[in-house]
Structure 1
Amino acid sequence: MTTTVPYTGSEKESLHAALDRHRDVVLWKLEGLDDERIRRPMTGSGTNLLGLVKHLATVEYGWFCSPFGYEVEKLWFDPATEDMAVAPEESTEDILAFYARARAAADRAIAATDLETTGTAWDGRIVSMRWVLIHMLEDVVRHVGHMDIVRELLDGATGAHPDTSGEVRGQG
C-alpha cells in the first residue's frame, strides 16, 4: 500500500509521510528486476537504479543524522565521488540493507528532533530539521523522477506509485 500524507496532520507528520511516500517508491522501482538490470547504466553519465539507491542512503545519513549529532554509519566509499557508483563487489543486497539502515537512522533522528532545532551541515551551513525535511523531500522526489526514466528505459514500466495491487504498471 502506498503511504498517504494525512489531510489534517501536523507539519512534521505531513512532511515525514510525504518523504516516506517517495522513499517507498525508490524500492518499488526495483521490483521485478534482476541484478544486471538494477545495475545497468542507462544514461551517458552512468546513472543506474542501484547507484541512485546508494546515493539516497548516503544523503539520509548526511542530512538527517550528521548535522544533528546522531550516529552515522562508517562509509566504505568516498561520498564526494562514489556515492552514485556501484562497485562490482558491492552487492545489491548490501546496498539495499545500507538504504534500510540509513532510512531507519534518519527516522529516529526525525522523531527525536524538533522542526526548529538547528544543526551544522557538511558544508558549514546552519540548517533546521524543517529545512532538512523539505530539502530531502525535494531530493528524493528528484531522484525518483530519475528512477522513473531509468526504469522505463529498462523495461517500459511506468507509474509514479504502486497501484492498489502493488504491481508495476507497464511491461514489467
Structure 2
Amino acid sequence: MSPRLTLVQGDITEQEVDAIVNAANSSLLGGGGVDGAIHRRGGPEILAACRELRASHYGKGLATGQAVATTAGRLPARHVIHTVGPRWSPTEDRSALLVSCYRESLRVADELGARTVAFPAISTGIYGWPLDDGARIAVETVRQARTTSVTQVRFVVFDERARAAFAAHLGETAP
C-alpha cells in the first residue's frame, strides 16, 4: 500500500516527522536553498555527520539520485535523508535521476524505520527543474511506492506557485 500523501506550504525545517529529506548537493556539506536551511536550523550535528560520511563512504561526494541518512540535529525530526537531485537539461532527459531521488529516499526511510517523511520539491529550485514536471514526478513516484513501510509523505513547499503545482498533481483543488 502506498503512503498517504499530504501537501503543506511552509518551512520543511519545522516538520515533526521521522525523516526530513534534504535536497542536498553532492558535497553533503551544506549549500543554499533547502540544503542551507536544514543545515542552519539542524545545527553543527548534521554537518559533523556529513563530514563523517565524506571521510568514510562518500569521499567523492554523494552521486546524483542516491540518498543517505544522518542525524537531524536540532530539527524536530529524527533523521535527515540527503539526496542529490539532477540539474535540469533541455537537451538530456534526466527524469530517471529525479525519480531515483524519491525512490532512494523512501528506501533509506524504510531502513531507518521511518513512517512519516517530509519531502521538498527536489531539483525545482537552483537546479532549474520545471516546477510542474518536478511535482508530477514527485507525486507519481511516491504514489507508485507500494513496498515502502512509510505511511505518510508530506510534500512541503515554500510558496503558492509550488503549492498549486503539487495540488494539481495530488488532485486537490486550489482554495
TM-score if structure 2 supplies the norm length? 0.27
User: Which one has the bigger strand percentage?
Assistant: 2
* Larger of the two Rg values belongs to structure: 1
